[in-house]
Chains A and B, each alone.
Chain A
Amino acid sequence: MWTLDKVRRAVEDELTDDSSVKEDLMCLQLELEAGDIDDDEYLIREKAIMQRLREVREWREQLGMSIGGGPVRVARDNDETR
């Protein structure tokens, strides 16, 4: 049965999953390598994909999920001093 909570979770999964964006990026790169598109067209479409990636990242941050990139450090519980 669908509850509001399930709906919310489904929407969140959709907003925070960047796998389809990454796949689009790889396909775009294939098109460039195959010579189907030129550099100018590539850059225009790449820009749109980067925008989508940023949107996913913002949602992940808002929902307290991990994001790739950005400053990191060794997690404290892993911090064995030698």
Chain B
Amino acid sequence: MKALDASIAEAGSGSETAGESLASAGEEGKYVYCIIRHQAARDFGEIGIGGGARVYTVQHAELAAVVSDTPIVIYDPTRENVLAHEFVNETVMREFTVIPMSFGTVFRSEEDVGQLLRSTYEAFTDVLEKMKDKIEFGVQIRWDRDRVVESIEHDNDEIRKLKDEITRNAASSTYFARMQLGRLIEGALEDSAGRYVATVHEELRRVSVASRSNKVIGDRMIMNAAFLVNRSDEKAFDDAVKELSLRFEHLLAFKYTGPWPPYNFVNIKLKLEKAD
């Protein structure tokens, strides 16, 4: 699952008033999924958030915002909602280069969406050009800690000796020796995590344009990265990930997702404010 925080809509801090009841009855806004370059109106079908709303474009010159009608609400980032948001972006990116908006971005009216396109025209155009024919892949690596500890105990002389000593003198081995062993193992674990991550980054850097490391989730994960890849290098990237996951098969579990829109590589600071 992607963290959507990294994409582009940043609500400005100029929202000092508490919102009234947001779900004012019958009021319709526009949920914005992404920005693309396209001249003519376009319909993507009934695939929108909130149970299959029709997804279509709001145009300004050759830019288009991909939107669906929505009540004015704050969308909870439930799995269902996030998947709906992602599904629309994935559908659109089959044909277009997209600038994804963050999950939950709702404008009050078509006019407000047009205003977004007009006021951010240059930045959008620029980024669309930079992201042209590029896609994102996610690579997460989790390790089997026990197996890595085993292999460390096997390969690291100092640790092996200390461990043998402790086992041989089980009765007399001190608390201190055990502490020392634990510390050595922790240190060696950290080193080897660093080495694995560096190796993977190095190999994948050859077949990608850029990469970004995100915070790891949970205690078994040692790498949580996103890679920006030229569409023409998709196969090469794919092969490289497969080769790496085979090489480290017994120690590391790779989770490989995508293609995604470039959630992690578009960083336009939109100056948005709350629309009361």
Nearest chain B CB to A2's CB is how many angstroms away?
Answer: 27
Contact among B14, B16, B76, B107 with A71 in the assembled complex (CB-CB below 8 Å): B107
Map CB proximity to B onto A46-68 as digits: 1 under 8 Å, 0 otherwise: 10001001100100011011111
Q: Check B118 against A68 for contact (C-beta < 8 Å).
A: no
Map CB proximity to A onto B142-157 as digits: 1 under 8 Å, 0 otherwise: 0000000000000000
B77 CB-CB contact with A under 8 Å: yes
B218 CB-CB contact with A under 8 Å: yes
Number of interface residues of B (CB under 8 A): 46
Complexed CA–CA distance, A71 and B22 (Å): 9
Complexed CA–CA distance, A19 and B103 (Å): 16
B15 CB-CB contact with A under 8 Å: yes
Q: Check A71 against B106 for contact (C-beta < 8 Å).
A: yes
A-B contact count (CB 8 A): 113
Q: Given A53-B77, A72-B11, are A80 and B19 also a contact pair (CB < 8 Å)?
A: no
Contact among A33, A50, A67, A76 with B11 in the assembled complex (CB-CB below 8 Å): A67
8 sample A-B contacts, Cβ–Cβ < 8 Å, listed by A number: A42-B79, A50-B77, A70-B72, A70-B104, A71-B29, A71-B276, A73-B112, A74-B115
> Chain B interface (Cβ within 8 Å of chain A)?
1, 3, 5, 9, 11-19, 22, 29, 72-79, 102-108, 112, 115-116, 118-121, 217-218, 270-276
> Chain A interface (Cβ within 8 Å of chain B)?
22-23, 25-27, 29-30, 32-33, 42, 46, 50, 53-54, 57, 61-62, 64-82
